Chains A and B, each alone.
Chain A
Amino acid sequence: MKTGNINFRDHFLFFILAPLIIIVGVISYYRFMINHDYMVGYEGNCDPVSEKCFIGCEDDECTEEYYYSQIIKYAPDLYKECGGDITDCEAANICLPEDRNCSITYCDPEIDGDDACAISAEESDVESNEGESLEDNEINKNI
């Protein structure tokens, strides 16, 4: 079946989708590449003496363990505090008052299993500076 002359009615799927996809691309570019409008998750420092930390392995055989908490921060805040790399950035391991969305999750044996959590002296829970939990919990607790 040949299509000689291009007209809108025959190709309206393309003519509508193509600009929409371009708009979506531009918005996505603006959101991710310019605004950095997304959350960043990473493993933060954790002291197994004071918190219930997640246990991680340095290698496949798990000959050496390390302890960590799960931190989620809003990317623009993290960029502001640490630049592009969180290595050796202390601010990355805590939730600051000016952080818009920040949460630190410690290991919960009931959810994650006893084996995943390091034994600690104190009870620990998710700490956050969002909504109700912001008021109920101690803010910006050092890890």
Chain B
Amino acid sequence: MICYLFPAPIYFFFSSEVPKLLYYSHIPTTIIALLVGLYLFWHGRKFLLNRLLLTITILFSLWTTVNLITWTNVNSDVILFSWSFIGLIFSLISIYSIYFTYVFLNKKDISVKLKTIFLVIISPIVIFTPTYFNLGGLNITNCDAFKFEQLPFEYYYTLLGGLAMIWIFVLLIRRYRTATPDFRKQIILMGAGIELFLFSFFMIVFLASYLTKIGIFPDSDLELYGLFGMVIFMIYIGILVVRFGAFNAKLIATQALIVGLIVLIGSQFFFIQTPINFILNGITFIGVIVVGFFLIKSVKKEIQQREHIEKLAVELEHANEKLKSLDKLKTEFLSLASHQLRSPLTAIQGYTSMLLEGDFGAIGVKQKEAIDRVFQSSKHLTVVVEDLLNVAKIEQGGMQYIMNPFDFEKITSDIVKDLSVTAEKKGLKLSFETDKKSPYTVKGDMEKIRQVIMNFIDNSIKYTKTGNIVVKLVKDEKTKKVIFSVTDTGMGITPEIKKTLFAKFSRGDGGKMDTTGTGLGLYLAKEIIEAHKGKVWAESPGADKGSTFSIELSAI
């Protein structure tokens, strides 16, 4: 039967006799809902939550489709066939909304018992959908079936919508109480979205239908506004995905915004009346698609780069931790090994010394020479072991300093005297200069400072072939600083070597001249002087041009 007062629709869905808002409320909302549902399903098809959301969006799309058919078609068979499913789809949306909320909140499927309850609740609707208890006929003058809808059936599925809203509200409140702060935000977003959707969808559509039926409204145009609740719900779902990575999907805000913009601009085509507006909107529509494509591509690239850097930073952090752990192990090993070496070395040194001094009887010249070599080597080894032990102590934070005032000039003078013999043996002139204006008293660990000074002068002797070595001590009365320096005419320091001169195991070019060094002397000197809040540095005009090593300490 044909609704004789209305023209037949074009392409089944398009009629000039319907309110323009009909297409705006139905088509963009359906596209948005399906896009979100399919996108999330595509990114997590194995997840029940994503499947349920897709089910809800498909049911919603089915509802908008059958509703659109009832609005635009004039064939009574088609209208009634479509209209008969309205209640069933309503009910399914209610049930699946509760199901969806359960899974969202508890991250697990519902029990078989609850599924059975859902089935029992919905069964009257399923049974009576194709019968007269649902829909009896159609008024072909108005082309509507409002007066042929059976109220008990309509009340039942509308109450089901109300029940779903209350049920979901109770679930949200219960879970909210025990949720973490982060999940609470998600509950608020999802809860507000689904409740707004259900309220606008069920209540506004029901009110429009009911008020039209009893004659208060001339038509049911009001129901068109009820569909916008779905858009709000989808926006909230989008926020959940962008901000919280919900639904196990990745979505960037730019993607969501561009798609939303395209759908909105596309929706304008339903309102456009003039060809010029159609062309302008078309240009805007294409422009947004093109610009949006490149924008999304660019943002995606930036995100990928950021994620790559974040991944590298994490890997670097792990590697750093591993290195620290290895370094600690190495220090522990050094400490242990050095302790184990020191005891036998002391014994070797003691006995060789006694042999050389004739405590065990007279020995021949050749034997004495050999024993002296053993004695000198063990002495050198003792120095190396001491250095290693000191490094281990510094790195473990276990180096102890006995701070007392002492005369810096005296210990320097003593060391210079001690090493003068060694210098003379190499044909070098070792001299000590001081202005002697005031006492050079400093507070510190005298033995360790002595070790540093000894190391500096000894190095100068080692790495100087010819010329002289000048040890100088000055005091700056203004800054109250004592500055010690040792200047030689030796091999000098290149700028490259200078950078790593005070690093651990750094030997520079000195390794070529003297192979017995460990590369720890300057490192230890720096650590010791810095522990005294002093400064240590080296200067040189370049290779083979000599060098000056200096120390600055506070005077008292």
Contacts and interface: CB of A to CB of B under 8 A. Distances in A.
Interface string A86-127: 110000000000000000000000000000000000000000
B137 A3 contact: no
A86 B81 contact: no
> Which residue of B48, B81, B107, B119 has the most chain A CB atoms within 10 A of its CB atom?
B81
A38 B138 contact: yes
B85 A28 contact: yes
Interface string B89-107: 0001000000100010001
Interface residues of B, number: 40
A13 B116 CA distance: 7
A41 B81 contact: no
Contacts of A62: none
Interface in B109-153: 109, 112, 115, 118-119, 122, 126, 129-130, 135-141, 147-148
A61 to B, nearest CB: 15
Contact of B129 (A12, A24, A79, A86): A24
Contact of A87 (B4, B88, B135): B4
Interface in A10-29: 10, 12-13, 16-17, 20-21, 24-25, 27-29
B2 A13 contact: no
A36 B119 CA distance: 30
Contacts of B109: 1, 3, 10
B103 A40 contact: no
Nearest to A25: B85
Contacts of B209: none
B136 A39 contact: yes
B126 A24 contact: yes
A3 B46 contact: yes
A95 B258 CA distance: 60
Contact of A42 (B47, B48, B140): B140
Contacts of A21: 88, 126
Interface in B45-65: 46-49, 51
B10 interface: no
Contacts of A132: none
B550 to A, nearest CB: 69
Contacts of A27: 130
B140 A86 contact: yes
B47 to A, nearest CB: 6
A32 B1 contact: no
A131 interface: no
B84 interface: yes
Nearest to A26: B130
Given A1-B107, A3-B48, A40 B84 contact: no
B2 A40 contact: no
Contacts of A10: 109
Given A40-B1, A41-B137, A32 B47 contact: no
Contact of A33 (B1, B81, B85, B135): B81
A41 B1 CA distance: 11
B533 to A, nearest CB: 61
Closest 8 A/B residue pairs (Cβ): A39-B137, A27-B130, A41-B139, A32-B81, A28-B130, A38-B137, A13-B115, A32-B80
11 contacts: A12-B112, A24-B126, A25-B85, A28-B85, A33-B81, A36-B76, A38-B76, A38-B138, A40-B1, A85-B4, A87-B4
